[in-house]
Chain A
Amino acid sequence: MDYATLLQILDATIRLATPLLLACLAGLWSERAGIFDIGLEGKMLIAAFAAAATAAIYGSAWLGVLAGIAASLVLSGIHGLASITFRGNQLISGVALNFLASGLTILVAVGLFRESGRTPPLSGAGRFDTITLPFADAAASLPIIGPLYAEVLSGHSILVYIGLAMVPLTWWVMFRTRFGLRLRAVGENPAAVDTAGVSVIGLRWAAVAICGVLCGLAGAYLSTALQAGFTREMTAGRGYIALAALIFAKWRPWYALGSTMLFGFLQAIALRSDVIENLLGFRIQIQLLDAMPYILVVVFVAFVGRAVPPRAGGEPYVKER
């Protein structure tokens, strides 16, 4: 494998890791506040559809992003209603939302476009263009570092950079602000937060809403930047992979960047069967490559070592005892 191929794969890594990163941070916000969210997949899917449909109708990718966030927030609202207000089972609610998204996207596509499970392909302003970072052209001539900057870091859509910026932002809010401290406390010991006179319900709703916004961004990225339009089940298990990445990252923002980049790299290299063949010297079945990310998720989840989830995770908070 030469340097140019490596750069191509790293470039694809960043593109493929971005939706995982956004979804993983979404899960991080939710789970740190004690709300498990299996429904990341469904939120991304419905956001991807809403973004592509809006962008196709109004010809604006930014409007698409807003619509994606709004759609994702609606599902977040249902999840919050079920798991915070009515103290239902968070896993079951998440599973239901995934089915809801997968059915609704197809039904609404029929209603809007008379096409089953698709939006028309996006072009022009309906899709995010790539951005060239400053000095990328000038830096390209530098040895080793130059192409890395010009080809791997530069030349992505704005949503990729927003996703990357979310990592320090999440870290700062969660570990350096009062809001973040309280939010983490709610995930560990909600009764203590309640005793201190801070609303457990309010904090959990805030976390669920932030999760919705981030999932909305992730979904919108899929259909308006990574690909040009919505296709049926286009999330392809990314929500679940993000959850696995979250466990692997032990619920920490910077680790989440690392683990999603790792999964992104695995997805990127799975697309390049020629490279794998050269490296290994034999051909790997295409089905094995397809299954690889899922197999690796199981392996990673199994051998991650001690990953301690937030202590009150999954438990509805009951004030009166």
Chain B
Amino acid sequence: MQTMPRWADVLLIPLISLLLAAFFSALVILAIGENPIEALNIMVSGALGSKYAWGYTLYYTTNFIFTGLAVAVAFHARLFNIGGEGQATLGGLGVALTLMYLPWPHWSLALVGAAAGAALFGAAWALIPAILQARRGSHIVITTIMFNFIAAALLNYLLVNALKPMGQMEPATGKFPEPTHLPNFAEMLAPFGIEFSRGAPANVSFLVALAACVAVWALIWRTRLGYEIRAFGHSEPAARYAGISPTRIIVVTMAISGGLAGMMALNNVMGEAERLVLNATENAGFIGIAVALMGRSHPFGILLAALLFGFLYQGGAILSQDTPIPVQLILVIQALVILFTGALDDMVRKPLERLFVALRGTSARRPDPRGDADVVGPGTTPTENPRAYANRTGDD
């Protein structure tokens, strides 16, 4: 029996957390002498006010779906992959190498090839921390953070030295060949007679991201591997007892996670820039953490959370153009969302639970002090949320 109805758990709590984050962000905006209401208006019109704006919002959404899924898959095995940024950077390298050194006759084939390259490179970058965690017990949080720094230095080195075309000053690759151009929304929608902004970067990889959501859902809740990942996440001793190899689960989960983060490069490197530049990921790897927490590690939740962060990111960019508020406002909002939905979950949850118990009368059972948290996070106690998964699987 639950203390709260399901809708409260999956909708009300994230919503309250979001409002809290918005409230504190508004305080920050006030503190630096700007008007938060006006700022919100600028963000809404800048991110949702036109087809052009939507084209950018959905472009960022695509990035965040990939990185959010990456963090979520690792969360299910109770691994905290902070390395999405580095894995996405390496994914970009994979895309660039595939597209530059192989001849592609048509974009659809190039998309498949680039996806394989991106996933392979991203997975490889996650593999070393995974093996170190599984074999040596090195803390994956520390190693993945270090791999972010190392990825940045590696890409810097490659772009400055090996990948830069002759005679070019800027550390970037040359433009990818013409046949690898991915259709953007305007080109995709034109055959249906729908007009869309030509300048906006949203492209066909948005559909790939949606497909990835379905694939991750199927993987986690409809396959044997997904079951093993969740079992391992719940209780390592129990999983071990059931014959699940911890080493295998850690390595495979991290490879899938890194591969998903790497596939973000389909959108930003192949779809938008059409060449590899420095710092192409623009923090999307880190935003994935907030997206996964907000989306409760469920692909549908991640889709919604990614949309929200796409709005915030594009709105924040427009805000920094029109007002003195710097674009780093998004970092503060991101931090507050992670804080309220991830770490301070109980602060919102407990009073609500008490409220629902009181509303229902005395028949309700007193809640177990820590059993009702529905956050699938990398907690250190395997027994932290015994009922979370059971609730969720029933509804899918």
| Known pairs A297-B146, A298-B132, A318-B370; A287 contacts B338 (CB<8 A) | no
Q: Are B293 and A318 neighbours in the complex by a CB distance under 8 Å?
A: no
Chain B positions within 8 Å of A90 at CB level: 343, 380
Determine if B20 is an interface residue (Cβ-Cβ < 8 Å): no
Q: Are B338 and A291 neighbours in the complex by a CB distance under 8 Å?
A: no
Q: Are B138 and A99 neighbours in the complex by a CB distance under 8 Å?
A: no
Measured CA separation A56–B264 after assembly (Å)? 42
Q: Are A240 and B343 neighbours in the complex by a CB distance under 8 Å?
A: no
Chain B positions within 8 Å of A302 at CB level: 132, 136, 138, 143
Q: Which of A82, A97, A320 has the most CB of B within 10 A?
A: A82
- Of the residues B160, B332, B369, contact of A318 by C-beta under 8 Å: B369
A320 to chain B, nearest CB (A): 6
Determine if B258 is an interface residue (Cβ-Cβ < 8 Å): no
Determine if A102 is an interface residue (Cβ-Cβ < 8 Å): yes
Count the A residues whose beta carbon is within 8 Å of the partner chain — how many?
54
Determine if B304 is an interface residue (Cβ-Cβ < 8 Å): no
Chain B residue at minimal CB-CB distance from A306: B137
| Known pairs A100-B335, A318-B370; A301 contacts B32 (CB<8 A) | no
Chain B positions within 8 Å of A278 at CB level: none
Q: Are A92 and B293 neighbours in the complex by a CB distance under 8 Å?
A: yes
Q: Are B157 and A88 neighbours in the complex by a CB distance under 8 Å?
A: no
B-side interface size class = 35 or more
Q: Are B293 and A107 neighbours in the complex by a CB distance under 8 Å?
A: no
Chain A residue at minimal CB-CB distance from B145: A240
Q: Are A96 and B338 neighbours in the complex by a CB distance under 8 Å?
A: yes
A124 to chain B, nearest CB (A): 28
Contact with B along A88-119 (1 / 0, CB 8 A): 11111101111110111011101100101100
Chain B positions within 8 Å of A103 at CB level: 328-335
Determine if A83 is an interface residue (Cβ-Cβ < 8 Å): yes
Chain B positions within 8 Å of A240 at CB level: 142, 145-146
Contact with A along B113-150 (1 / 0, CB 8 A): 00000000000000011001000101101110111011
B89 to chain A, nearest CB (A): 13
A101 to chain B, nearest CB (A): 8
Measured CA separation A82–B348 after assembly (Å)? 11
| Known pairs A116-B326, A294-B149; A88 contacts B32 (CB<8 A) | no
| Known pairs A243-B142, A301-B132; A110 contacts B326 (CB<8 A) | yes
